[in-house]
Structure 1
Amino acid sequence: MKLKKSHIIPLILLSGLLIAKPVFAEDNVSQDDHPMGYYIKQEQEALLAQKNLPAPQTQVAPATPEEDESENTVTPTQTLPSSAIHVRMLSTAAPMLNSNTSSLPRRDAVDISSYQNWMNQADFYALRSAGVKTIVVKLTEGENYTNPYAKTQINMAKTAGLTIATYHFVSDPTRIQYEAAYYAKTAKTLGLSSNTVIIEDAEAPSTAYNWTNVSIVFKNTMASHGFHNIRYYTSQSWITSGVINTSTLGAKNMWVAQYPPGTPSTYAAMWKNSNTINSAYGAWQYTSEMRFKGGTANLLNNDLDTSIDYNNIFGAPSQNLQDVYRLYNANTGEHFYTLNFAEKTNLQNVGWRYEGIGWLSSSTGSPVYRVYNPNAKGGDHYYTMSKYEAQQLVSKGWRWDNNGGAAFYSNGSKNLYVAYNPNASSGSHNYTTNSYEQDNLLRLGWKYGAVAWKVN
């Protein structure tokens, strides 16, 4: 089913600066697949269409820092008169912005969904060259929709060396725990690590519910599934009018959408004011119409949502943690572990089976070395914290990986177990954080059940 843009009647006013601008090249947006900012942009269009009319009553949800984070229900809130919200409407439409404009805020993050299915690998490389650090990919909406392009988009972004964050578009706030559970399940199915930044897109036109409590339930549900790096996307007006309480959720966890008119040159005071206000939050989405120049034809001809990340909210809290990819070669029996996404992809392309994130590795701590035996059937790798042991193996014909530098570092609170298969000529060592897997291998005759090093 399709939802016409002209049929959207927003239910809450944006406070502050409002402008009218087109949303998408498409006239229709699927009812179960809304891109980020969809209702916020529709809201602005509707306000300008009604600029000579008094503002309607707006339902908001005042929240206080004392709210109980164990709350798992969502309750309606009272209606406040529209006079409680200050609105200033401008007839000036926001023009397409040019990424080469030096006076614009930084272009730290771009968010995408199924509507950016036109993007190819060259586009992601070009975005990185233009200064973009993070791609925020829509994974899910409601309890049934999954972005069919998410896996490909994530892989292309990672191949380009970009950080990945993901978001869920909240459809029904009364069923947020089920929506969040669906989001978590999808993230795990796609092989995303527990370190991934998870974002709640709170903008669906229903302010009759306490969106602060909705967000708390979202956070608690995601945490129960192992995801703890939670952020919240919403309009600046929802924060200003009390629909979402930043004292409870944390101002630096907020990703705020507000679009000044024109450019920083033509409306300098307005852009400066918006930047000053929104820098109190974690990130600011300041346009949905960025054209990236000097890149690809795709980026020159298509608009992208673009944001400045003031406080690195799209990166994991511990930037020194990296995903370790685990792969298996069915022909040799070897498991291989790497931080390099391109290496992981290349091995998959030649027949290795990807088994997910093995663990999170720190970029500091005690070094772990990796050496390679070219004489073993299909090759074999060995990992050790002892540089002397690694040097002894190299003297016997093994080869250094990573030019003799550390492949990983031991630093964390979680045990990484190693087991040795004395009957294997290749792939004789297995590394896992799963104690059940370790115990099962030992029952099958594997030896040397010990802690190899510490991980996260």
Structure 2
Amino acid sequence: MSAKFIDVASYQPETLAYFQAAKALGITGVVVKITEGSAQGTNYVNPKAKKQVQNARKCGLTVSGYHFLRSISVSDAKQEAQFFVKEAQKVGLNKGSMLAIDVEAGDLTHQPAALTDQVNTFAAELKRLGYGKVSVYASTSWFKARLLRSKLLPQTLWVASYDTKDAGISCAAWQYTDRQLIAGAKTDVSVDYSGLFTGNGPEQVQKAVVKPAVKNTWVDDFGVTWHQEKGIFVSQQAIYLRWGASTKSSQIALLPAGSGIKYDAFAHSGGYVWLRQPRGKGQFGYLATGKSANGQRVDCWGKFI
């Protein structure tokens, strides 16, 4: 079962008892709101952030931070990132911490290309300042209509979708409720499919997870559209590796749960999301990793690392 984490702002308590109650519910991570806007604009700092970080850590929770984006231009986004990092350092978030960009303000530009540029500028500035673990938070509808998802530099997506069976798109984490009561306070809870919000201690410096946008797309001899993407998929159940991206293709092997598969491309075909495994000498294996509907992943039989 995937781990869970909460996110908190000034609306939630800063007390040790609150985070102890969260841990008692099985929560293993927390993302604390640090800032909103920039020193040139909104200039908001969560007054509870430092205590929330400290008390969450006392409970052994993995602590990350987030910034509520208010940018109106690329240069403004860069200033916001600098403001965020300055305040994140003050509350004790070191360069191994996950930093999230909260993209949901209604007055952000409605031009997807412009907003994507602003988010990418923000992420690039975080990376330049030494924070390589970056994620983007938004609702499913924003990832589909307000942002150009394939062109985002951070591909660690944290997706909000309530009262649904899943996030609606492939993601690293899914915020599925904003109504969990913890010590009497309404709290957002998310499922962490990737382990990035719950599996790495706050003092561990990790390699950057900012990945380049998918650039290459092609159609194979069977009319299936493939997208170039390199990564590692770890299965959570036994899955057949096949010689083709079809359940009718012959089997290479039955891979047991826990198998790590390096892949170089993915495709939606026949109701499944397929990964392509390079096998040398121009040969490839193919692995179904979950169901697909209307070009979107609807479940996942493992995790990506």
Residues 134, 164 of structure 1: 8 Å contact kept: yes
Residues 256, 284 of structure 1: 8 Å contact kept: yes
Output the CA distance in 2 between the equivalents of 1:114 and 1:281.
27
Q: Residue 203 of structure 2: which of 320, 323, 337 is its match? A: 323
The superposition leaves residues 146-191 of structure 1 with CA deviations (integer Å, 9 ceiling, x where unpaired) of 1111000000000000000100001123211111110011112223
The superposition leaves residues 305-333 of structure 1 with CA deviations (integer Å, 9 ceiling, x where unpaired) of 111111123257xx4x7628xxxxxxxxx
Q: Residue 225 of structure 1: which of 129, 138, 143 is its match? A: 129
Residues 252, 311 of structure 1: 8 Å contact kept: no
Unmatched runs of 5 consecutive residues or more in structure 2:
207-305
Say what the alpha-carbon RMSD is for the aligned residues. Answer: 2.3
Q: Residue 148 of structure 1: which of 47, 55, 63 is its match? A: 47
Match of 1:204 in 2: 105
CA, structure 1 residues 203+165, in 2 after alignment: closer, same or farther (shift >3 Å)? same
Is it true that 1:162 corresponds to 2:42 in the alignment? no
Match of 1:115 in 2: 11
Is it true that 1:309 corresponds to 2:209 in the alignment? no
2:178 corresponds to which letter in structure 1? S
Match of 1:69 in 2: none
Is it true that 1:186 corresponds to 2:92 in the alignment? no
Match of 2:71 in 1: 172
Output the CA distance in 2 between the equivalents of 1:312 and 1:252.
14
1:203 corresponds to which letter in structure 2? E
Match of 1:26 in 2: none
1:230 corresponds to which letter in structure 2? V
CA, structure 1 residues 148+304, in 2 after alignment: closer, same or farther (shift >3 Å)? same
Unmatched runs of 5 consecutive residues or more in structure 1:
1-104, 261-270, 293-298, 325-359, 362-456
Instruction: Give TM-score scaled by structure 1 length.
Output: 0.41
Output the CA distance in 2 between the equivalents of 1:107 and 1:193.
22
Match of 2:32 in 1: 137
CA, structure 1 residues 167+178, in 2 after alignment: closer, same or farther (shift >3 Å)? same
Which structure has the larger Rg over C-alpha atoms? 1
1:302 deviates by 2.2
Q: Residue 181 of structure 2: which of 267, 271, 291 is its match? A: 291
CA, structure 1 residues 251+179, in 2 after alignment: closer, same or farther (shift >3 Å)? closer
CA, structure 1 residues 141+233, in 2 after alignment: closer, same or farther (shift >3 Å)? same
Q: Which has the higher helix share?
A: 1
Output the CA distance in 2 between the equivalents of 1:198 and 1:245.
20
1:108 corresponds to which letter in structure 2? K
Question: Helix, strand or coil for the counterpart of 1:284?
Answer: strand
1:323 corresponds to which letter in structure 2? E
- For residues 57-456 of structure 1, the aligned pairs below 5 Å read 108-116=4-12, 118-143=13-38, 144-174=43-73, 175-205=76-106, 206-209=108-111, 210-241=114-145, 243-249=146-152, 252-260=155-163, 271-272=164-165, 274-275=166-167, 277-278=168-169, 280-292=170-182, 299=183, 301-315=184-198, 319=200, 323=203
Output the CA distance in 2 between the equivalents of 1:165 and 1:313.
10
1:235 deviates by 1.2
Output the CA distance in 1 between the equivalents of 2:123 and 2:154.
15
1:107 deviates by 6.5
Residues 97, 202 of structure 2: 8 Å contact kept: no
Residues 107, 306 of structure 1: 8 Å contact kept: no
Output the CA distance in 2 between the equivalents of 1:250 and 1:286.
24
1:245 deviates by 2.3
CA, structure 1 residues 169+226, in 2 after alignment: closer, same or farther (shift >3 Å)? same
What is the number of residues matched between the two proteins? 197
Residues 5, 192 of structure 2: 8 Å contact kept: yes
2:31 corresponds to which letter in structure 1? V
1:253 deviates by 0.6
2:60 corresponds to which letter in structure 1? G
Output the CA distance in 2 between the equivalents of 1:181 and 1:127.
31
The superposition leaves residues 36-78 of structure 1 with CA deviations (integer Å, 9 ceiling, x where unpaired) of xxxxxxxxxxxxxxxxxxxxxxxxxxxxxxxxxxxxxxxxxxx
**Moved >4 Å (runs of 4+):** none
Residues 157, 164 of structure 1: 8 Å contact kept: yes
Output the CA distance in 1 between the equivalents of 2:153 and 2:162.
22
1:246 deviates by 2.4
CA, structure 1 residues 126+315, in 2 after alignment: closer, same or farther (shift >3 Å)? closer
Match of 1:72 in 2: none
